[in-house]
Amino acid sequence: MGELFIGVIARRIGRFAGATAAQISAINKKYATPHIKTTPAVRASLLFLRLYLLALVGLLVYKFVTLVR
Amino acid sequence: MNFWARLFYNWRRVWKALKLYGIIAGPGIIVMVADNDAGGITTYAATGAKFGYSLLWFLILLGPIAFFIQEMTVRLGAVTKRGHAESIFHGFGPFWGWFSLVDLILIDWLTLITEFIGMTAALSIFHVPPLATVLFVILIMGTMIVRGNYWTWEKIALFFCAVNLVYIPCAFIVRPSISSILSNGLIPHIPAGGITNSFFFFLMANIGTTIAPWMVFFQQSAVVDKGIQEKDILWARIDTFLGSMFTVIVAAFCIIVTGTLLRGVDIRDAAEAAVQLMGINKYLGTLLAIGLFDAGLLGAICISLASSWAFGEVFGWAHSLNSRIREAQWFYAFYFFALISAGAVVLIPGAPLVLITLFVQVIAVTLLPASLVFLILMLNNEESMGRYRNNVFQNVANVAIALAIIALSTMYAISTLFPNWLR
């Protein structure tokens, strides 16, 4: 009885995960082409954002490492 | 036309304009008042206790800043008919889209926990157990959306916005010195003691509470859900402007209350301020606690919806408050899941609530710069915005505001991560 129940739950989770993955892939396809006009200002802003996020993640990792130590 | 006919004509014109505003008003006022959430009220209460009226002038400056940023979401939503999450996917592709969506969901959920912390603390003053508070909040928020009607939801939210005005009578009860407020509060100056680390920290905290990532996502989605058109932009701008005035007034009165009675007292949160005020005047403490609960509730209402709207837009689910629960099951399921799970965290014995509160400030700065930069870039996209794109003045103002907010909120987050760096 217990095994049957776990099996049903596992199948449902598997189906849900599969449907979600398919949906994510469809979203990626739908928005694959960015619609913003790529001007130098847009390119510079996106580069700034990438560097900013890298720096911030670096700080978080540093904090985590010092906390663990 | 004689005098009476002209008067009647003008009165009819004004009445018609007011009625039109009444129809369009809502998203701007709600988002701005909800900005004074539990965290915001805590910041204002602590600012008043620490610096008295000395930072009132600075707070007044924050009103126009919030208006400039939020006004852009009105135009973007009304013209493109897309929420902010969908706009980022459409404009910048899946990488930035997923980054923004996942980050928003995480921040919103953590912020929702802080709202529950504020609400449970506020009602614990009246000896209401946390479980009862959490259930009560879920019941209120469920009732607001169960009719499947944006209008009903908005009017109830506006009622809670009106309750936020409770700080105004509080300020009259404490009878502050008007001359002291005018001379010490409204004239820009550095408080006695100069620019200390603590002063700088409070400046950053006040800026941090003024613009939050969820506000950008919330207002744009609300504009779309309400069906605001390009022709309504002027009225929606007025709504946002009035909202920004509203938020500054409430914040200023909150500072006046604690600045008058708790000057020099080191308070950690607004609930503690309410307890302290209860000892001085029980009505005052009661009103402050009600205000804190209302602030947390308004924040929770907007934040949980901002996440559900964003998810619905991207996944293509029905995501309107005009849909009934059976028509938009995933949208409402997400709404309740966020709400119930955040409420449940507060009930866990020994949950690291202080750590969560600090963590929110750090995580928020990973999304804030991205959402501000994307907003400005999209508002400059002539192809989609046409004549509603930013003009030179708006660009100069918005870029300056965005850079200042990014710099200061980043420093605030760093000082939260490394307290010895600044304090």
Q: How far apart are CA B160 and CA B132, in angstroms?
A: 20
Residue B13 within a domain: no
Which of B329, B355, B377, B392 should we substitute to test contact with A (largest number of A Cβ atoms within 10 Å)?
B377
Task: Output DSSP code: residue B418.
Answer: S
ipTM (interface predicted TM): 0.84
Cβ–Cβ contacts within 10 Å for residue B18, how many?
10
Q: Cβ A41–B370 below 8 Å, yes or no?
A: no
Structure tokens at B26: 């809502």
CA distance B372 to chain A (A): 11
Those residues whose C-beta lies under 8 Å from the C-beta of residue B85, and which sit 6 or more positions away, are B97, B100, B101, B104, B217, B221, B309, B310, B311, B313, B314
Q: How far apart are CA B365 and CA B355, in angstroms?
A: 16
Structure tokens at B227: 């069906």
pLDDT of residue B340: 93
Positions in chain B short of pLDDT 70: 1, 148, 358, 361, 421-423
Backbone angles phi, psi at B327, to 5 degrees: -85, -25
Place of tokens 């009625």: B19
Residues of B in contact with A37 (CB under 8 A): 381-383
Residue B32 within a domain: no
* Residue B239 structural domain: 38-421
Q: How far apart are CA B177 and CA B182, in angstroms?
A: 9
Residues of A in contact with B381 (CB under 8 A): 36-37
Inter-chain CB pairs, A–B, below 8 Å: 58
pLDDT of residue B119: 92
Q: Cβ B417–A63 below 8 Å, yes or no?
A: yes
Residue B9 within a domain: no
Those residues whose C-beta lies under 8 Å from the C-beta of residue A31, and which sit 6 or more positions away, are B89, B90, B93, B94, B97
Residue B275 within a domain: yes
How many domains does chain B contain in total?
A: 1
Residue B26 within a domain: no
Residue B331 within a domain: yes
Asked whether residue A2 carries a pLDDT value surpassing 80, the answer given is: no
Nearest one of B246, B188, B243 to B219, comparing CA atoms? B243
- Comparing CB atoms, the residue among B90, B93, B381 nearest residue A37 is B381
Residue boundaries of the structural domains of chain A? 1-33, 36-69
Q: Is B175 helix (H, G, I), strand (E, B) or coil?
A: coil
CA dihedral of B249, B253, B256, B261, whole degrees rounded to 10: -170
Q: What is the CATH number of the domain that holds B102?
A: 1.20.1740.10
pLDDT of residue B18: 84
Q: Cβ A36–B378 below 8 Å, yes or no?
A: yes
- Comparing CB atoms, the residue among A28, A34, A56 nearest residue B366 is A56
Those residues whose C-beta lies under 8 Å from the C-beta of residue B301, and which sit 6 or more positions away, are B34, B141, B144, B157, B160
Residue B311 within a domain: yes
Structure tokens at B362: 């750090």
Task: Output DSSP code: residue B350.
Answer: T
pLDDT of residue B358: 67
Query: Environment class of residue B76 by beta-carbon count within 10 Å: exposed (0-12), middle (13-18) or buried (19+)?
Result: buried
Residue B326 within a domain: yes
